[in-house]
Structure 1
């Protein structure tokens, strides 16, 4: 053991090292032997952590001995490209959602604002993680300066609160989108329940994260044992809250399914719904994964390093949630752009091509029924009317056939891209129409 090491080590740690060296085959002056002797290091560590040294003295001893033996602190900076990739994807989908509204002069509705607010929170979450790298986030705590440790723990506190708040915004945005799609009474009741679940379940998680410790500052000041206060049992709190959140997520995901399966949608939109649903399942799976491995992170003594995996999974979960919430807006923008590239003009789209097809008549009566030989033969009078995008009023006009009683109707199903109401057709023996994506 070198003379500089003897003079810089805390007294309590020095006594432990001397005892460990005397119980080994190494001499006090043989630094190489002491550094390579795992049993010696283990004995000294147990002695130092037995309570003879304060937390600050333990970290100082670890720092000094590691530097003397040429041991580099463990770092985990792989989270940076991962989090930047997912936040970039979330930003792109959020930008597409905003562009799909602004490009066609459409009004932003509450679900849009909630998703944009959630995206801003996700950006702040990721930016905080990346910026804190220079402070020691992702590095062994013994290599972090004492002044930076409470700062990083305070940042971790803010990120925990921001996480539960952001996930609530994402759920609210998705439910609001459901409410904009399903305008009939039975669906409205279910969506109101889903909204209540999203808010009521999230509020205890938010306030629980905020007041986990009393006083609040004890959360980031307790690391060295010098502050006074108390915290609730983290293990019980996390298990109870996260289990409730997972169950509520499954309910919110499943709430629209009984109505979605009865919608008259093209295979493209069915594919989009499937992708959205799968993305939602991935988000729930990530939450479950974190819950499964929570025991690995509770009670760790190296928080500046050990907290990184959980923070990364939280960031990915939030980003995927924003992507899921913004997915429905993507086909709207691309469809509108395609129509504009084709040079489609509103005047040519809305000019009546058959009697009764003008703005004064929304429905055209077709005699006969769908299964007869003559059924729908008068559809030829539509003169090739095709689904088209009307950029001036922000709607996609689709011509769909609805079987109702003994008569068949051709309905222009206006798919609003804003918050305007649309009457729903509830045929007696067939599926019903829905407002589509915005």
Structure 2
């Protein structure tokens, strides 16, 4: 037997043995809890007999006295074991939470990954104005950045931050998140779940802010209005401030820090901030930021000299960001709705994590939608209103000539000139840039083209 196989076998044996030992101890009522049962019955605090389990389970006064005794005389771990055994003895079913492989989080992950691949492919094809700062920030939000070559970074694109957040959420569910703490066996899984949650929260804040900054940088490449650019720079600063404030706040929310994953045992002194209040505040701030970032480009689009059909199409693309606002509102509602479980955070935080994981994927989708549209128009010109089925439009990124209507009155947005090449003819024909079939692409054009 090879050495690594032997080591793996030993580790598995130790793990199984430890789990079996923990399960065996968890199957027995702790001594302190058993004494509380005896003392509570001895005080004649219930009309039920000691053998009438159904009567004892229905007696609220007896159960209240028993819980108070256990809290006073048992450790947290012993109290959780006793509660699980009492609930099973009373026939209370185990709370079923989210599945590890949840279709509700897998579907947006697949969509986000597909659009991310389309975005990177479009950049390599020269669509959307080539590489720019917003592309590097979205890659930072989506790809694990390492000191490697560009080719190696591209090959590592599967190890994306969005996938990492999805994986962390799935691992937390596997270790017991979305189940009551007393139903998690072995109890050490609670500590493992909280360690994963600690990393999850920090990565979530970083990813959300990077993706929003990427959207801001993209908008700066499109709209040239001074007032719009000032507002966008302010939004970028706000996103940076949000990221710094909440990343450091979440990283150091407990003193000492390790109480973030061991504090549930209440075995040592320390303090932690109210995480639920912090999460609610972050959600409300993000709702306001999302709504603002969706609104300002739509107002700018309305100034363009385009047909209402094209205005509506571009506005709807930007308005898709309202999905993030809706998810943010859902997170607040879910957090408030589950506040009654404030002493059972593995249940309270599970739906918040669920919607946060979906929000992460939708953020990537919104950031990649504009360039994905350019890719679709590249291969399906009819989607942009082109009516000549024999022609094939392509972007001429080096065209700097001023043309009629290159800028719409009252707006500050770049407009590119596109050509259609009829492969049945011997020479290309230029399509009238002012005609009804002209295409407006939200793409980057060098600064000289605006002079």
Give the deviation of 1:304 after TM superposition: 2.0
Q: In structure 2, what is the equivalent of residue 91 of structure 1?
A: 113
Cα RMSD for the two superposed structures = 3.9
1:55 counterpart = 2:88: no
What does residue 278 of structure 1 align with?
319
Q: Pairwise mapping of residues 184-223 of structure 1 onto structure 2 (< 5 A)?
A: 184-223=225-264
Q: Does 1:401 align with 2:442?
A: no
**Which whole-Å CA distance do the structure 2 matches of 1:418 and 1:183 have between them?**
11
Name 2:170's counterpart in structure 1.
Answer: 130
CA contact (8 A) 2:400 2:448 kept: no
Deviation, 1:20, is 4.5
Query: 2:141 matched to 1:118?
Result: yes
Report if the CA contact (8 A) 2:374-2:441 is conserved. no
Quote how far apart the aligned CAs of 1:308 are.
0.8
Counterparts of 1:78 and 1:223, CA distance in 2: 24
Deviation at 1:179, TM superposition (A): 0.8
| 1:243-392 pair list within 5 angstroms | 243-267=284-308, 269-297=310-338, 300-338=342-380, 344=391, 362-363=402-403, 388=420
Distance 1:314 1:63, change over 3 A: same
Matched, 1:423 2:449: yes
Secondary structure of 1:423 counterpart: helix
Cα gap change, 1:216 to 1:194, in 2 (>3 Å):
same
Within the alignment, does 1:65 sit opposite 2:86 as a pair? yes
1:38 Cα deviation after fit: 5.4
1:191-221 per-residue CA deviation (whole Å, 9 max, x = no partner) reads 2222222212332122111111122211111
Structure 2 residue ranges without an equivalent (≥5): 1-23, 143-159, 383-387, 406-416, 423-429
When residues 276 and 38 of structure 1 are mapped into structure 2, their CA distance, relative to the original with a 3 A threshold, is farther
Q: Distance in 2 between matches of 1:89 and 1:417?
A: 23
Distance change >3 Å, CA 271–CA 16, structure 1 → 2: farther
Report the Cα distance in structure 1 between the residues aligned to 2:346 and 2:421, rounded to whole angstroms: 53
Please give the alpha-carbon distance, in whole angstroms, between the structure 2 residues aligned to 1:202 and 1:269.
35
Considering only CA atoms, is the larger Rg found in Structure 1 or Structure 2? 1
- Give 3-state SS (helix, strand or coil) of 2:95's partner: coil
* CA displacement at 1:142 relative to structure 2: 0.8
24-33 or 311-320: bigger deviation: 24-33
Instruction: Report the CA distance between 1:176 and its aligned residue.
Output: 0.6
Matches within 5 A, 1:34-183: 34-35=56-57, 40-49=62-71, 51-77=72-98, 80-104=102-126, 107-119=130-142, 120-144=160-184, 145-183=186-224
CA change 1:244–1:116 in 2 (3 A) is same
Contact 1:111 1:173 in 2 (8 A): yes
| Alignment TM-score, normalising by the size of structure 1 | 0.73
Aligned to 2:156: none
